[in-house]
Amino acid sequence: MFVSRYKIQEEDKGTFDEFMKNPFGPHSPRLQRVLNLFRGCGELRYGLLCTKEYQEWVLITIHGPDFPIEIHHDIVFTNLADAEREIFKRRWVYHKEKALNL
């Protein structure tokens, strides 16, 4: 498992609003660093599974290489931007807690 030396910092708070306004970018260097952290490491990882091409996505969680992917059929998105925002929120909470309650 990849372990990053970078942790969420006080200065990163503004990146949350930046992502919510424009989840597809372009992103500032600070937000890109946060996204790299979120996408690259952690014991609990969130993602999306497309169930209807360009129309529907469901939340998935990955708990590690030795565990099956958990598909949350009850958490469905019909807008990709909203889905990306939800993933970002969940990742933010997860990494914020790991950074000792920012």
Per DSSP, what are the bridge partners of residue 19?
none
CA-angle at 83, arms to 38 and 101, nearest 5°: 40
Which of 18, 42, 59 is CA-nearest to residue 98?
Answer: 42
pLDDT mean across residues, the chain: 88
pTM of the model: 0.85
Which of 52, 60, 14, 55 is CA-nearest to residue 33?
Answer: 14
What ranges do the domains of the chain cover? 10-98
- 14-40 pLDDT, tens digit each: 999 999 999 999 999 999 999 998 887
Token reading at 68: 């099956």
